[in-house]
Structure 1
Amino acid sequence: MPTHMGYPGVYIEELPSSVRTIASVTTSVTAFVGRTRRGPLNRPVRVTSFAEFERRFGGLTSRSAVGYAVHQFFGNGGAVAVIVRVAKAGTGEEACVTLESTEGHSACPVLEVHAKEPGLWGSGLRIAVDQDTPSPDRTFNLHVLDARGGARESFTGLSMDSGHGRFVETVVNAGSALVRVRALDEDRPDPSGTVSKPFAAELPALGVELKVKIGDVERAFTLFEPDHDGEPPADVTELALLLERKLRSLPDAPGRHAFAGAEVTAFGRRLQVVAGSLDPDDVVRFVGECANDLGLEASVNPPVFALRGGKDGDPPGPRDLMGSEARKTGLQALRDVDDVNLLSLPELSAYESAEDMVTVLCAAEQLCRERRIFLLVDAPSAWGGVDSARAGIGAFDAVRSDHAVLYFPHLQLTDPLTGRLRAFPPSGAVAGVMARTDAERGAWKAPAGTEARLAGVRSLTVRLTDRENGLLNPLGVNCLRTFPVVGPLVWGARTLAGADPLDSEWDVPVRRLALHVEESLHRGLQWVVFEPNDEQLWQQIRLEASAYLNDLFRQGAFKGGTPREAYFVKCDKDTTTEADIERGVVNVVVGIAPVRPAEFVVVKIQQMAGQFDLS
């Protein structure tokens, strides 16, 4: 009702709708856990393209199976991945550099700059400092350059005063994806390059001969020539432009860009001269009596300060991948992520010990069961044929789960780093096929068959025949096959619990559809908690759950000609008794009739005598 009615007339009030909808959750967001070149340790990061993976995790490296798996995932139709970088505990180190200040006339360390993440990649970072700010006597600028990756960051107007609004720790640590800093003193770090003394209001005579040395190359030039340079500089800014033009006109050493790319900046009444190079050895030095008279060498530093000491660390072992649930490391870091549907551990296939591999898989399977995730298992790389696969499959009895699926054999692709053919575990590419199938047909379509082509795959490490496929399929091993015209593809849709002796009803599409329905209902019915537990609530639950399931039925997720044959939702006094109500329990029973894949297609042909009249 309107809160106040003060005059005769018509009042309009908008009422909120009591109808809630259950939205379908994602089906193919894939988590990759393992070693990468860079990135935050034990923290899930979502990426939506391989280019983003390269920027955040350093791209491909021969020491990481994860990078290749992610590359194959996006190449086969994957859309969203979650990456968890794992390294052996205590082995990786961050690159760092300590910047000094001579403002107090004696050099002292004032600012530590660390790579934001451990790894050798941090040794490619370069730091440049200048004081070209509106307050050149109190603030400074910090520039971060990734010499290998090409990323650049600039932070301007920084202060070493912790009470300043642009305190260096606050600004850089919150805004940089490359570094973090720690202030050691209140003095500012010295600028990079060569800095002059302050010039007087009236510039000195500039028609002097100067000698400049960058690295081991020395050149001489006349600073100002009236016949060639026109009017003399009127202020420090014009002097900076003149000096920069003179330096850039000097010949470089072959293949170098130190003189040609030199930069001269005026700030306050001073000049900063930086070589056009990222080589810390390319220090600009002005030599001779004339340079001393002009005060061109008050402070001499490299053009950039290089970070040193970064180490990648040793590859993660089984304990590192399994991680700790209390500290949320390794696999357990995925407990903080809501939308993960598939899990790939491509490094496991290279383990020499089947026991170590299965130990990690057991921990992963438990996580998947708790978080409604589907585990993609790569066959060990040691399985060189059908006989070794049949002999080795017994090691996986501990993970005979309907939440896990195993694929054999490995893929042969061209390595983008070397251009040579190389074997790779298949889980990354298969996850991409699942994502592509989900987008085109839905999670209830088996990610197998002639539509499940493996893009970019040249061949398979083991070429299987129909008879050999028939030996592995009853054991719950999904085979990758090569067929004429179509090429390499996925040719199996059984979970590890789908071996013939186990007689599991859960094949890959049925299990993935059930996980999808369970997670969607779990999230969509959160509003029910603490609502009055009566017939009105039960009716709303039936309405919303039925509307969601009916939408899936219309898309072809269930078998049956009518909704009654495809699914049911029961929530009433039969499912929720008075005792349940007293205990605060509401029971919802949902049944679905999933569409099962046609794994065996039998065509019977009978020879008939005589002729048929088809009119």
Structure 2
Amino acid sequence: MATLPTYPGVYVEELPSSVRTITAVTTSVCAFVGRTRRGPLNSAVTVTSFADFERRFGGLDPDGVLGHSVRQFFLNGGSVAVVVRVDSGSGSSAAVRLSSAEITPAAAVLEITAKEPGTWGSGLRVSVDYDTEDPEKTYNLRVFDSSGAVQESFTGLGTAEGDPRSADSMVNSSSAVIRIAVLNRDGRPNPVGTVSKKFDSVPAADVLSRDVDVKIGEKSHTFKIYDQEKDGDTAPATVTALALLLERKLRALPDLPGKRVFAGARVTAFGRRLQVVAGSDSPDDLVRFTGENANDLGLEGSVNPPVFLLEGGADGGAPGAADLMGSEAGKTGIHALRAVQDVNLLALPELAGYDSTDDMLAVISAADALCREKRMFLLVDAPAHWTDIDAARVGRADFDVVRSDHAALYFPQVEVVDPLTGRLRGFPPSGTVAGIMARTDSERGVWKAPAGTEALLNGVRSLTVLMTDRENGLLNPVAVNCLRTFPVVGPVVWGARTLDGSDALGSQWKYVPVRRLALMLEESLYRGTQWVVFEPNDERLWAQIRLNVGAFLHTLFRQGAFQGTSPREAYFVKVDKDTTTQDDVNRGVVNVVVGFAPLKPAEFVIVKIEQMAGQVLT
């Protein structure tokens, strides 16, 4: 704000800086689109490690390759990935309905559904208990996975209308695995296990010392809850002490072979009641108290299962071409990435397994269009049926219809030990190559070709096709980036051409690092010059643009991103009356021309040796 002088003296005024820093955008965030074991459908989810992917998408799928590609991405240097789950067909979510005995006749009060479709949801189990501060009105809900480990716990839930801790509002806002619908607000879900009647007082010692019959399946046991003479028991004075005593006696009973029904039994006191839960999570392993003495203790009655199982989960089929391409209007398939800003690479590893080349090319064409729009780079896997050099040479012609400088084709597949089977298995190389690009960008810069002896394929034991130099020389000129294995060095990426990089075409975007550097510059300048919009379009603005864009390019020059020994040889920024005429100013246009001299990879190294026989050096 300009100072308005009103008195004689010295005024201090702070001037706004004309420097607006332009920061280079990320270059190695890779998006993977395809089938996963679980996860939200057609929604882009960011993961920062393979453990994160396992937690969110269920880990490796024996019927799919996307999980293995993500694993290879992180193993080879990737740090951030975006995953979009896509299925084909009608998958369904596992669910269970919980009833309430507080309603006459008994009716379902809760419907619990797995948050995401798939068979994974059928492994979920839930339990209910009333061990709360207000056991007559509230309850606890626990969610277990298939191994019996607790996934989530929710305490003090209610079902009444307007209850701030209503199950649907509390669970649906925080659970990562389930969703709840309240079907009837007049009751609570029945607790699992066996629940006693309400004790007015703790049963006397003579009542507790009577024989109690307990039954699991067809096998019965008889025991005494209180046996001072045999076990040295102390008569319980509280319901909590009674619960501990009963739990100890149940755990001492012999189990069925291979079971922990009694060994893992739990007895909980809530209010003036007991809840007895079997140590098994199978609904077939029910513990049932029988006989007159059990009735006197309030343990006789209907028995609920130890857990409630979610059922009916089903996976969709492997995604076809239409599923991967998705819909722009519905933001499905690859179009789910439109809502994500920082995505630089795109991998579609399932395409390699397609039987139809036409379907594969249709998806690549749609993905290439998206990459051009969002300034991304597409990693294309060679078809799995390219099992030798001849198949690759013949099949390469099919890719002429999707020739693009925003994509690169890699051949052959990599052989990796499948952790699910312990055996070698061939996988599409795109995930591995994406990880190498991320590693190269971090260590050297996006202007360095992600190829050469530094581009080691970590985790790769072999390649499905081994080739010689001469065979490599048949594919490299037609823009097929080969993966090679060399003695001592091991498997590496040995090509850095875009799909537009055939020798016959002479494209300026022949090389992968040149195109990726240009994409980084375009996106960085696009974001870093937003402040220009609506500024007065005059020489002062043009000078600020030259200053800020020039500073950004000079930083890259000092890092070795461009050719040339001086800034003048490496780049230029031009915005003046020559680029922006008065007519442009009248139309609200400012034209900024940026040029740069990209580095080209030393693709061919020629060493000339001359014999100097009979010559004398002076």
TM-aligned CA deviation for residue 231 of structure 1: 2.9
Q: Which amino acid aligns with 2:421?
A: T
TM-aligned CA deviation for residue 499 of structure 1: 0.6
CA distance in 1: counterparts of 2:11 and 2:245, whole angstroms = 77
2:3–2:13 CA contact under 8 A, matched in 1:
no
The more displaced of 571-580 and 547-556 is: 571-580
Q: Which amino acid aligns with 2:513?
A: P
CA distance in 2: counterparts of 1:131 and 1:8, whole angstroms = 80
Deviation track 1:267-311 (CA, whole Å, cap 9, x = no partner) reads 111111111121122222111110011111355211110000100
TM-aligned CA deviation for residue 64 of structure 1: 1.1
1:408–1:480 CA contact under 8 A, matched in 2:
yes
Where does residue 586 of structure 1 map in the other structure?
590
CA distance in 1: counterparts of 2:501 and 2:128, whole angstroms = 62
Q: Which amino acid aligns with 2:46?
A: R
TM-aligned CA deviation for residue 5 of structure 1: 11
Deviation track 1:527-551 (CA, whole Å, cap 9, x = no partner) reads 2222222222222211111111111
Where does residue 115 of structure 2 map in the other structure?
116
Q: Alignment partner of 2:26: what SS? A: coil
CA distance in 2: counterparts of 1:39 and 1:150, whole angstroms = 20
TM-aligned CA deviation for residue 13 of structure 1: 7.8
Report the CA distance shift for 1:235/1:564 in structure 2 as closer, same or farther (over 3 A): same
Q: After superposition, where does 1:476-495 map in structure 2 within 5 Å? A: 476-495=479-498
Where does residue 538 of structure 1 map in the other structure?
542
CA distance in 2: counterparts of 1:540 and 1:211, whole angstroms = 89
Deviation track 1:186-220 (CA, whole Å, cap 9, x = no partner) reads 11111111111101135343112112123444322
Q: Which amino acid aligns with 2:591?
A: N
Report the CA distance shift for 1:111/1:612 in structure 2 as closer, same or farther (over 3 A): farther
Report the CA distance shift for 1:216/1:559 in structure 2 as closer, same or farther (over 3 A): farther
1:203–1:235 CA contact under 8 A, matched in 2:
no
Where does residue 265 of structure 1 map in the other structure?
268
CA distance in 1: counterparts of 2:14 and 2:34, whole angstroms = 53
CA distance in 2: counterparts of 1:549 and 1:469, whole angstroms = 36
Deviation track 1:329-370 (CA, whole Å, cap 9, x = no partner) reads 001101111011111101011111100100010000000010
2:50–2:71 CA contact under 8 A, matched in 1:
yes
Report the CA distance shift for 1:57/1:149 in structure 2 as closer, same or farther (over 3 A): farther
Q: Which amino acid aligns with 2:220?
A: E
The more displaced of 369-378 and 407-416 is: 407-416
Q: Alignment partner of 1:503: what SS? A: coil
Where does residue 161 of structure 2 map in the other structure?
162
Q: 2:513 aligns with which of 506, 509, 513?
A: 509
CA distance in 1: counterparts of 2:492 and 2:401, whole angstroms = 28
Where does residue 143 of structure 1 map in the other structure?
142
CA distance in 2: counterparts of 1:438 and 1:12, whole angstroms = 46
2:142–2:150 CA contact under 8 A, matched in 1:
no
Q: 1:379 aligns with which of 379, 382, 396?
A: 382
Where does residue 340 of structure 2 map in the other structure?
337
TM-aligned CA deviation for residue 99 of structure 1: 0.6
TM-aligned CA deviation for residue 23 of structure 1: 1.1
Deviation track 1:481-525 (CA, whole Å, cap 9, x = no partner) reads 110100111000000000111111211000010011111111111
Q: After superposition, where does 1:440-589 map in structure 2 within 5 Å? A: 440-506=443-509, 507-589=511-593
CA distance in 1: counterparts of 2:331 and 2:501, whole angstroms = 32
1:24–1:520 CA contact under 8 A, matched in 2:
yes
1:538–1:571 CA contact under 8 A, matched in 2:
yes
Q: Which amino acid aligns with 2:595?
A: G
Where does residue 32 of structure 1 map in the other structure?
32
Q: After superposition, where does 1:159-558 map in structure 2 within 5 Å? A: 159-186=158-185, 187-204=187-204, 205-227=207-229, 228-506=231-509, 507-558=511-562
Report the CA distance shift for 1:509/1:295 in structure 2 as closer, same or farther (over 3 A): same
Residue 62 (structure 1) aligned with residue 56 (structure 2): no
Residue 45 (structure 1) aligned with residue 45 (structure 2): yes
1:210–1:221 CA contact under 8 A, matched in 2:
yes
CA distance in 2: counterparts of 1:223 and 1:132, whole angstroms = 22
TM-score by length of 2: 0.96
Q: Which amino acid aligns with 1:146?
A: D
TM-aligned CA deviation for residue 577 of structure 1: 1.5
The more displaced of 350-359 and 294-303 is: 294-303
Q: Which amino acid aligns with 2:455?
A: A
Q: Alignment partner of 2:144: what SS? A: strand
TM-score by length of 1: 0.96
Q: Alignment partner of 1:175: what SS? A: coil
TM-aligned CA deviation for residue 560 of structure 1: 0.7
The more displaced of 222-231 and 334-343 is: 222-231
Where does residue 21 of structure 1 map in the other structure?
21
Deviation track 1:228-273 (CA, whole Å, cap 9, x = no partner) reads 3443111111111111111112122222111111111111111111
TM-aligned CA deviation for residue 145 of structure 1: 1.0
Report the CA distance shift for 1:365/1:398 in structure 2 as closer, same or farther (over 3 A): same
Report the CA distance shift for 1:16/1:116 in structure 2 as closer, same or farther (over 3 A): farther
Q: Alignment partner of 1:300: what SS? A: coil
Deviation track 1:34-89 (CA, whole Å, cap 9, x = no partner) reads 00000000000011111111111111112111011111111111111110000014
Work out the percentage of aligned pairs sharing the same amino acid: 66
The more displaced of 297-306 and 39-48 is: 297-306
Q: Which amino acid aligns with 2:74?
A: F
1:55–1:149 CA contact under 8 A, matched in 2:
no
Report the CA distance shift for 1:15/1:121 in structure 2 as closer, same or farther (over 3 A): farther
Report the CA distance shift for 1:236/1:16 in structure 2 as closer, same or farther (over 3 A): farther
CA distance in 2: counterparts of 1:264 and 1:417, whole angstroms = 39
Report the CA distance shift for 1:283/1:2 in structure 2 as closer, same or farther (over 3 A): farther
Q: Which amino acid aligns with 2:519?
A: L
Which structure 1 residue ranges, 5 or more long, are not aligned? none
Where does residue 132 of structure 1 map in the other structure?
131
Q: Which amino acid aligns with 1:323?
A: G
Q: Alignment partner of 1:547: what SS? A: helix
Q: Which amino acid aligns with 1:57?
A: F
Q: Alignment partner of 2:540: what SS? A: helix
Q: Which amino acid aligns with 2:127?
A: A
Where does residue 605 of structure 2 map in the other structure?
601
CA distance in 2: counterparts of 1:182 and 1:542, whole angstroms = 59
CA distance in 1: counterparts of 2:484 and 2:122, whole angstroms = 44
| C-alpha RMSD over aligned residues | 2.0
Report the CA distance shift for 1:168/1:2 in structure 2 as closer, same or farther (over 3 A): farther
Q: Alignment partner of 2:208: what SS? A: coil
CA distance in 2: counterparts of 1:133 and 1:169, whole angstroms = 18
Report the CA distance shift for 1:216/1:10 in structure 2 as closer, same or farther (over 3 A): farther
Report the CA distance shift for 1:215/1:429 in structure 2 as closer, same or farther (over 3 A): farther
TM-aligned CA deviation for residue 8 of structure 1: 11
CA distance in 2: counterparts of 1:276 and 1:254, whole angstroms = 14
Q: Which amino acid aligns with 1:423?
A: G
Q: Which amino acid aligns with 2:308?
A: F
Q: Which amino acid aligns with 1:118?
A: P
1:194–1:283 CA contact under 8 A, matched in 2:
no
Report the CA distance shift for 1:264/1:319 in structure 2 as closer, same or farther (over 3 A): same
Report the CA distance shift for 1:397/1:168 in structure 2 as closer, same or farther (over 3 A): same
TM-aligned CA deviation for residue 19 of structure 1: 2.5
The more displaced of 122-131 and 157-166 is: 157-166
Q: Which amino acid aligns with 2:30?
A: T
